[in-house]
Amino acid sequence: MIGLMGVKNDGKTLVTPNGTDLFPVPFGIAWCIQRIQHWIAKKTWRYK
């Protein structure tokens, strides 16, 4: 499985898949990252 970078709960800090904080990003970019992750999750998880 490919690890994706994520955004912390503060909505602006970019983190690696293992939880290491990288750097803060603008809110708009963080929002886009989360939308992409949610889209991928919908496509990969199967709900019954």
pLDDT in tens, 1-48: 346 678 888 888 888 888 888 889 888 888 888 888 888 888 887 665
Question: What is the rounded CA–CA span in Å between residue 25 and residue 41?
Answer: 22
pLDDT at residue number 41: 81
Which pairs with CB-CB distance under 8 Å and at least 24 residues apart come from 2-8?
4/37, 4/40, 5/33, 6/33, 6/34, 6/37, 7/33, 7/34
pTM over 0.75? The answer is no
pLDDT at residue number 33: 84
pLDDT at residue number 3: 61
Question: What is the rounded CA–CA span in Å between residue 41 and residue 48?
Answer: 15
Q: What are phi and psi of 40, to 5 degrees?
A: -65, -40
